[in-house]
Amino acid sequence: MIRHLFKLIWNQKKSNFLLITEIFFSFLVLFAVLSFGIYNYHNYTKPLGFTYDNVWQLWLNPQTDSTAHNLAVQRELIQRVKSFPEVEHASLSNSNTPFAFSQMNNNLSYGGKKDIQANVFNVQADYQKVLGLEVSQGRWFGPQDKASLHKPIVINQKLKEELFGDEEAIGKLLPINDSSQYAVIGVIDHYRSYSEFDPEEAAYFECINLDEEKSYFWNGLVMKVKPGAGVAFEEKMVRELSRIAKDWTIEVTTLEKMRQSKAKMTTVPMVALGLVCGFLVFNVALGLFGVLWYNINRRYAEIGLRRAIGASSKQIRNQFVGEVLVIATFGLLLGLLLAVQFPLLQVFQLSSAIYWESIAAAAFLIFLLATICAIYPSYQASKIYPAVALHEE
């Protein structure tokens, strides 16, 4: 049976070559789109490491260049924010708060590990309470750190693995420059703040000490508000803060809105790619359906003769479905020769599992598409009566 199918396909090699080419490119497009989608799905299912419900973000933009004046106003602002009964916790931070379009990084070294790049987050001690961060090893920042000989930092598990491997991280010293060092005081399991669809990166937190700060202004302020705090409280808060910070621009948003905005940067391209891919696959489906329908009409006598010598309806149906699946297999084999290079060569530094899952899913969809396109024409072919077919010939 298989040998017969190959012979039939070879006899129609010109039209079948076009179908094989279409299936080849369809497989590659499906592989690329699925790799993108599976990669983002894998990231989406991983924990963020923090909670963003009822968390508001204030952006503080002073109009004067006087750092001393701005810092004094900032101290008054954070105190006033914490005094609102609707606010549970509040913390100053840098501009790279969760889901913000901002990143800061630094290179760290330890032992033989040189220049490990990590994201840097400057926060106050209450930042942990605002976002519900859980420290798995050591502790978070506390009053005792003000008298520390070394600058305390809390790192995430990703940075711990890259710097220390299986070693204990708590108490380790990391050089900042020739005269100062970081001291690791705690480790949190996860912290993915840039986007739900981004992979976790090495990161560490530094503590903001307003009592010592004399030259740097922190333009981010995150707060955990009580459930039910809404527009009325927002207007009241901005009005009172504007009295303290005259001529400042104060913008208020929520982490939920920032999360949605950031998610669109991934979901919109995914939807666009999905539509393009769907259009291509639909055209391939029409091609498969049309070619098979044409072959049935052109091979009417062959089908009638086979039925006359005893072929059952099931055998006729299986023959045409088999032809389409063999054509699809040829196209897939060509696509696989290219696709398998991605996990073998670690292209784009993605996990090999993502590529293999994408290859398997793309192959399954191609075979499913070929089978669906072949079902109805094959069913029609199996219903041809030998007497009618031979009489027409």
Q: What are the pLDDT digits (tens) for 29-84?
A: 999 999 999 999 999 999 999 999 999 999 988 877 777 778 888 888 999 999 99
Does the pLDDT of residue 160 top 60, yes or no?
A: yes
pLDDT of residue 197: 94
Q: What is the DSSP string of 24-48?
A: HHHHHHHHHHHHHHHHHHHHHHS--
Orientation of helix 255-298 relative to helix 313-339, angle to 10°:
130
Q: Return the minimum-mean-pLDDT range out of 95-99, 170-174, 297-301, 338-342.
A: 297-301
Compute the distance between CA of residue 358 and CA of residue 78 in angstroms, rounded to an integer: 49
What is the pLDDT, as a whole number, of residue 13?
57
Q: What gap in Å lies between CA 16 and CA 26, rounded to an integer?
A: 15
Q: What is the reported pLDDT for 311? A: 65
Q: Mapping DSSP to helix (H, G, I), strand (E, B) and coil, where does residue 133 land?
A: coil
Tokens in use for 363? 């192959």
Core vs surface per residue 14-53: b (16+ CB within 10 A) or e = eebeebbebbbebbbbbbbbbbbbbbbebbeeeebbbebe
pLDDT, one tens digit per residue, over 268-304 is 999 999 898 888 888 888 877 777 777 676 666 666 6
Is a pLDDT exceeding 70 seen at residue 389? no
**Residue 157, C-beta contacts closer than 8 angstroms, at least 6 positions apart:** 136, 187, 188, 189, 190
Paired tokens of 192: 């993915």
Q: Which two tokens stand for residue 238?
A: 């901005």
What is the predicted pLDDT for the residue at 384? 63
What is the rounded average pLDDT of the residues 217-244? 90
20 is written with which tokens?
A: 């094989």
Task: Look at the block and give the residue holding tokens 């598990």.
Answer: 157
Nearest to 205 by CA among 92, 54, 112: 92
* 141 CB-near residues (< 8 Å, 6+ apart): 124, 125, 128, 152, 154, 185, 205, 207
Residue 51: which of 129, 166, 161 has the closest Cα? 129
